[in-house]
């Protein structure tokens, strides 16, 4: 067994579709090839949109596709719980660590932004608006807080810094903080961490060595690198999988009718076909 630790981390807001299956297949394959471990994690922080039945279904679908994981909600493991909604106390600890750096501040902001921070901001469908610099709070605001309370907290990004990273599946990446993305949410006023904070906290706690996920999260990786740095943690390797598009060039997440794993199973397609057949042969 090598030290490699990868993960599959679905958000259970609906049925998994062919796009997920292909991203997760890469995660499973890379873990297998590295003779490493694979972790399954349920990212269900958005309590309004996530459902237990989808979480269970995602595990069933992934097993049917042939993926095997060493740790997860159903099999346990040393770094559990593997369901984000059960890890709030841990995220609060990380909020405290971030707060101690002086890099986060409480912030009044629109409801729309709050919604967007709940799930991973997939670049193509809703690019998160860049937080206007004039809304940024003064340095010491919130410095005496001992807990997040009922307010949003943002991370103050360095202005104009190039955040570069090597990607195992893409060209070398570079984003400019303050330009490509602004001060981002780390905590929400309804008592939950943002996607960026939760995912970094979990990947660190679960000792993930390589993050394999969709290429729509490349920009989020730049934000996450800033969190790793602030917390003085070593960042994992990154491998962003190109997204599956339909014949019209649309990202699958938008139109998945007939392409959920469940429907494809019911139609009699094999796991091999779901994982590799051209989309038009599957949607027939």
Among 31, 45, 120, 197, binds ligand GLU (CB under 6 A): 120
Assess 128 for contact with ligand GLU (CB under 6 A): no
Total residues contacting ligand GLU by CB under 6 A comes to: 8
List the strands of the sheet with 152-155, edge to edge: 104-107, 152-155, 184-187
Assess 5 for contact with ligand GLU (CB under 6 A): no
Q: How far is the CB of 52 from ligand GLU (least distance, A)?
A: 16
Site for ligand GLU in 197-226 (CB under 6 A): 199, 213, 217
Given the rule CB under 6 A, which of 9-17, 88-96, 142-150, 156-164 is the region that contacts ligand GLU?
9-17
Among 4, 11, 55, 206, binds ligand GLU (CB under 6 A): 11
Assess 12 for contact with ligand GLU (CB under 6 A): no
Site for ligand GLU in 31-60 (CB under 6 A): 43
Cβ proximity of 220 and 196 under 8 Å: yes
Q: How far is the CB of 199 from ligand GLU (least distance, A)?
A: 5
**Site map (CB under 6 A) of ligand GLU, residues 177-196, x = contact:** --------------------
Q: How far is the CB of 245 from ligand GLU (least distance, A)?
A: 17
Q: Which residue is nearest to ligand GLU (CB)?
A: 213
Nearer Cβ to ligand GLU, position 136 or 188? 188
Locate tokens 């906290």: which residue? 201
Nearer Cβ to ligand GLU, position 106 or 121? 121
Q: What distances in angstroms separate CA 264 from CA 85, 141, 154, 244, 278, one per listed residue?
A: 30, 52, 41, 16, 13
Assess 121 for contact with ligand GLU (CB under 6 A): no
Nearer Cβ to ligand GLU, position 185 or 217? 217
Nearer Cβ to ligand GLU, position 243 or 273? 243
Assess 83 for contact with ligand GLU (CB under 6 A): no
Assess 6 for contact with ligand GLU (CB under 6 A): no
Residue 171: Cβ within 10 Å count: 7
Assess 241 for contact with ligand GLU (CB under 6 A): no
Q: Footprint of ligand GLU on this chain (CB under 6 A)?
A: 9-11, 43, 120, 199, 213, 217
């Amino acid at each position: 067994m090598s030290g490699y630790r990868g993960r599959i981390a679905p958000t259970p807001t609906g049925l998994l579709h062919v796009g997920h299956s292909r991203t997760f297949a890469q995660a499973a394959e890379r873990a297998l090839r590295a003779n490493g471990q694979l972790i399954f994690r349920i990212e269900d922080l958005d309590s309004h949109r996530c459902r237990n039945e989808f979480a269970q279904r995602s595990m069933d679908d992934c097993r049917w596709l042939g993926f095997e994981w060493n740790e997860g909600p159903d099999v346990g493991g040393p770094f559990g719980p593997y369901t984000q909604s059960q890890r709030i106390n841990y995220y609060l600890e990380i909020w405290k660590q971030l707060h101690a750096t002086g890099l986060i501040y409480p912030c009044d902001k629109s409801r729309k932004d709050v919604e967007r921070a709940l799930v991973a901001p997939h670049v193509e469908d809703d690019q998160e608006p860049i937080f206007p610099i004039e809304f940024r709070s003064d340095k010491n605001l919130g410095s005496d807080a001992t807990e997040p309370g009922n307010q949003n907290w943002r991370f103050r990004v360095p202005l104009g810094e190039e955040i570069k990273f090597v990607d195992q599946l893409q060209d070398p990446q570079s984003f400019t903080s303050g330009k490509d993305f602004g001060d981002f949410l780390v905590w929400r006023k309804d008592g939950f961490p943002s996607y960026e904070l939760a995912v970094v906290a979990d990947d660190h706690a679960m000792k993930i060595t390589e993050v394999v996920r969709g290429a729509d999260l490349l920009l989020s990786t730049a934000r996450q690198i800033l969190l790793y740095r602030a917390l003085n943690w070593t960042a994992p390797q990154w491998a962003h999988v190109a997204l599956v598009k339909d014949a019209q060039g649309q990202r699958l997440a938008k139109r998945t009718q007939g392409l959920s794993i469940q429907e494809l199973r019911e139609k009699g397609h094999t796991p091999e076909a779901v994982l590799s057949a051209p989309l038009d042969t599957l949607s027939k």
